[in-house]
Every structure is written in structure tokens, then in C-alpha cells.
Amino acid sequence: MSLFRALKKTCSLIKKSLFSRETTEAVRMEPTKINMSRVALVNGGIDGAMLKAHKPRVMSKSGHSNVRIDKVDGIYLLYLQDLWTTVIDMKWRYKLTLFAATFVMTWFLFGVIYYAIAFLHGDLEMNKFSPKREPCVKNVDSLTGAFLFSLESQTTIGYGFRFITEECPHAIFLLVAQLVITTLIEIFITGTFLAKIARPKKRAETIKFSHCAVITKHNGELCLVIRVANMRKSLLIQCQLSGKLLQTYETKEGERILLNQASVKFNVDSSSESPFLILPLTFYHILDESSPLRDLTPQNLKEKDFELVVLLNATVESTSAVCQSRTSYVPEEIHWGYEFVPVVSLSPNGKYVADFSQFEKIRRSTDSTFYSVDSEKQKLEEKYRQEDQRERELRTMLLQQSNV
């Protein structure tokens, strides 16, 4: 019976191994399904789609530029020539390090010079051999003492233990030069601190843009809509919102511009006047024949390759400083057939309330005609686009042949 059980166990193991091998081969032979309609026609297929998916943004959602300046000859010299802007643009950790290092270095540098004067005048051996001789600086007989005298003189502490005498005119001149030079350095550093703190950059961070944009109908027109809000009670005056469409463009001569900039005009309730940004507002861009986004459709929106940079320029009422807030939208962040949920309501005590928990929320458009698709119109537009593309390719080929 034990032999029979062993043979039976061996047969079951052989069956399991054969079954697992057949399953592995079946999995290997099964074809992978790829939706080619979602693959962009760049570099011949899937690689192009991967490149598009990982394409970096020119402007981040927080408004910071992602463009790197590279291979510029003498870039550090250019930064030193504009030292004021360079120091202001420094991060706070580097600025504080520079602030502390500047004081310590000037104290030590002038301390070394005082020590050298004392050494050349013979003040270091004076206490041992001729105590009645007058030194250049009293009680400076070491490098540490010279450093402390430099620190006390520059900071005007004046303990009275170390002081300069009339014995050495060049030491007196050095003291005057130290006070003048270090005062100018302190004025420069203090000015950069005040300029960095007073910059309207922090005020621009309290301007909030909606994370996504929507395409819906407004007053019977097809519009691209974004939402903007001022997060502080202090007003922003002379607000101007504009947009730049960044996309690849090919000229009639065949030149390919990687980031062509086209202006995108935004309005508030079909008005181009400066809005009163006290409550969250929705800005509209009409998708008409003059719009650079006129060829957008629900079918090709996600396949497009562009970036919409939105700029809001305003003047801060309290400081009269001009601030700019920025953001950007890519096709994946634009939703067709949606609209923003209202955020402004009237409270029972008669006050207007802006509910920012609804600021980012969107919903399907309530306009039923918005979803009716005119297939004949879309086919005709697609036909015109294809003919225009063929004419452009033919023109490019003829131009290349004429150059040859």
C-alpha cells in the first residue's frame, strides 16, 4: 500500500507540473489587446504615447517655471553683475547663511589686519620687553584679541578694554575704512531682506485657481471656463486675466516651433473690464472661429498636446505693488460637458457666503442640447482638417525638393 501511495503521489505531481507548463504557454501565446485609438501618432506609436504621458509642463500648477537654463557662457558672471536680484532670489536658508557668513568673515578679516599691524609694530613683544611703550591697539596681543577688537568696533559694543591709540595713524585709517565698508554691506543685506519680505509673491499665493477647467455653454456660446478666487479680505484692483496657449506649430515654410505662443482672451460675463475680485469668479473664453482652441471636440480633446498657461495680474490695494499669479492646464485637466458647482450663497442673516468646499467640484452640464452631436458637421470639419494637413505636407515636400 505504501508503494501504491508513492506512485499515486508521483503521478499527481507530474500532472500538476504539466498543467502549470501548459498554462504558462497559453498565457504567453495569448495576444495583448492595445487600444490604438488612444495611442498618439508620435514616433510611430506606443513610444510616442509614453512620451506624451510623461511630457513635462512648462508651468507647474503652483505657477513655477519648469524651464531650465543650460549651457550659458559666463552665467555666474551675469548673476554677479546683477547682485541685487541674485541675493533677493536666493532661498531663505542660503540668504541667512550668507548673512551670518558676511559678518563673521568681515570680523575675522579686519581682525587679521589688526593683528598684522600689531605684529609689525612690535606690540606682541611689548609687554615682555618694553611695557612703557604705547601700542597701536591696547590689550591686543593675540589673534583672538584682534578678532574681539574687530567685532567690538564693528558692532559698536565699546567695552572699553580694547581701544585704539594715537600711536599708529594707519590703524586709525583701517578703523574708519572698516566702519564705512561694513556699514555699506549691512545696508545692502538689510535692504535685500526687506525687499524679499515685501515682495508681492506671497500675496499672489493667496489667489486660488481651480484645479481643472471645463468646457460648457455660457449665454449660448461654447466656452472654456476656469474659476478664480481671492483668499484674503484685502482687495485686488485692476485685475487682468489672460492666457497663453503653448503647443507645437508648423509654419508654411516647414519650420517646426516647439512652443508656439498664442493669446487666449478671457472675459467675465462677456465683459473685458477689470473684474471686482471680492468673490470667486468664473472666467470664460469663447471657442469661436478666432479662438486658438476652435478645433477642440469631445473626441480629440484628450488626444491634443498643448498647455494653457493662465496669468492674473493685479495691484495689491494695501501696498500698491503689482503681483502676478500663474497656473496651467493640460488636456487631461479640461473636462468637456461639465460646469462648476455654485459656491456663493446668501446666509439667513443676509450676508454673502463663499463655500470653498465646493470650489473644485464640477457636475454634468444641465444643457441638454450640449450633448447632441452633429455628426455631419463633425465629419465635414474633420474632412477640412485632413485636407489642410495634406496640403501642408505637400507644401513641405515641395519646399524640401526645391532646396535640394
pLDDT at site 44: 32
- pLDDT band of residue 2 (cuts 50, 70, 90) is very low
Q: Residue 19: pLDDT above 90?
A: no
What is the pLDDT of the chain when averaged over all its residues? 78
pLDDT at site 315: 86
Q: Residue 32: pLDDT above 80?
A: no
Task: Report the amino acid identity of residue 77.
Answer: L
Q: Per residue in 257-314, pLDDT tens? A: 888 889 999 988 755 567 778 888 899 999 988 899 988 888 888 888 899 999 999 8
The proportion of the chain whose per-residue pLDDT surpasses 90, expressed as a percent, equals 25
Q: What 8-state DSSP symbol labels residue 37?
A: G
Q: Residue 245: pLDDT above 90?
A: yes
What does the pLDDT average to over 52-68? 78
pLDDT at site 215: 92
- pLDDT band of residue 114 (cuts 50, 70, 90) is very high
Q: Residue 8: pLDDT above 70?
A: no
Q: Residue 371: pLDDT above 60?
A: no
59 by DSSP, 3-state: which? strand
CA 361 to chain centre: 24
Q: Residue 176: pLDDT above 90?
A: yes
DSSP string spanning 61-108? Answer: TTS-B-PPP-S-TTHHHHHHHTHHHHHHTS-HHHHHHHHHHHHHHHHH
What does the pLDDT average to over 251-258? 80
What does the pLDDT average to over 4-16? 50
The proportion of the chain whose per-residue pLDDT surpasses 70, expressed as a percent, equals 78
pLDDT at site 244: 93
What does the pLDDT average to over 177-190? 92
Q: Residue 10: pLDDT above 60?
A: no
Q: Residue 38: pLDDT above 50?
A: no
pLDDT at site 128: 54
Among candidates 272, 276, 296, 274, which has minimal Cα distance to 223? 296
Predicted TM-score (pTM) of the model is 0.64
- Rg for the chain, CA atoms, rounded: 36
Among candidates 205, 212, 123, 120, which has minimal Cα distance to 165? 123
d(CA 11, CA 14): 5
d(CA 266, CA 261): 16
